[in-house]
A and B are shown apart, each in its own frame.
Chain A
């Protein structure tokens, strides 16, 4: 079967008319719908659902903050300025001195 013949077959099949729905189709369907049990109301959105929605954004924001802090620390160290660790050590030693004084 060559491509041209297949295309002709598709084109002819596309023109095939579908059956018309019976006149009482919608009314019959409505009767079937009335026999259906009532649909359950949609479940309310819980806190966990909301957290699930927010989690990817929160995780991305946290990762961005960590990367920024690391980059800042690296830049300060490269520039010869005291880095965050030095600052923490200095504060700690000052606290020790205050304790000795007491």
Chain B
């Protein structure tokens, strides 16, 4: 039996305080997932809290044969998806004003030889991905930034593997278009 499974048994038996230990074990992963969808650190923390509270409420449905890490990661992705759907309603136009000078120079450079620092790259992608639908955004993020399999993405968004493959191709094309728009907007 895994350490998580033992901990979960104690929590189910009424040791509520042990949940804090479970949170400590998985909080870094949950923060990393959520940070792919939200750049504001305070909001990431709120979303992480929402994720673990959802996990707490649904603990009775958790199948102990599967790793807890996978289960809580799926909850984090769904929490991020709900957050993106809420945000989409209030979002304005593509915000190339927020794009840093380095990122803009890199985007406008004809070749791909120069390097872009990781923070600027993540921020640029974040801006471009905001043009996509929430589900397309999750598919691209999971596939390209987290290296997840089609099966994992399908389980996270509740779609078939074929639907994920089709969506990934279309979303990638939309992302390229959004990046071109960002590049042109800065000129």
Contact = CB atoms under 8 A, between A and B. Distances in A.
Interface of A: 1-2, 4-6, 8-10, 12-22, 25-30, 32-34, 36, 39, 41-42
A25 to B, nearest CB: 6
Interface of B is mostly: helix
A26 B48 CA distance: 10
Nearest to A2: B112
Contacts of A21: 27-28, 31, 45, 48
B60 A5 contact: no
Contacts of B23: 25-26, 29-30
A9 B180 contact: no
A31 to B, nearest CB: 10
Chain B interface size, as a band, is: 35 or more
Interface string B90-128: 000000000000000001000010011111111011000
Return the 10 tightest CB-CB contacts between A and B, nearest first: A12-B121, A16-B122, A15-B118, A5-B112, A18-B32, A18-B35, A13-B121, A26-B23, A16-B118, A26-B20
B56 A19 contact: no
A27 B21 CA distance: 9
A22 B44 CA distance: 11
Contacts of B45: 19, 21-22, 25
B176 A6 contact: yes
Interface of B: 16-17, 19-21, 23-24, 27-28, 31-32, 35, 41, 44-45, 48-49, 52-53, 56-57, 59-61, 107, 112, 115-122, 124-125, 144-145, 172, 175-176, 179-180, 183
A5 to B, nearest CB: 4
B119 A16 contact: yes
B7 to A, nearest CB: 13
A16 B121 contact: yes
Given A22-B45, A26-B27, A29-B49, A13 B60 contact: no
6 contacts: A1-B183, A9-B125, A12-B115, A18-B35, A33-B56, A36-B57
Given A2-B112, A27-B20, 15 more contacts: A4-B112, A9-B125, A12-B115, A12-B121, A14-B118, A15-B121, A16-B118, A16-B122, A18-B44, A21-B28, A25-B45, A26-B23, A33-B16, A36-B53, A39-B57
B35 A39 contact: no
A13 B56 contact: no
> Taking each of B19, B20, B45, B124, which has the highest tally of chain A beta carbons within 10 Å of its own beta carbon?
B20
A30 B125 contact: no
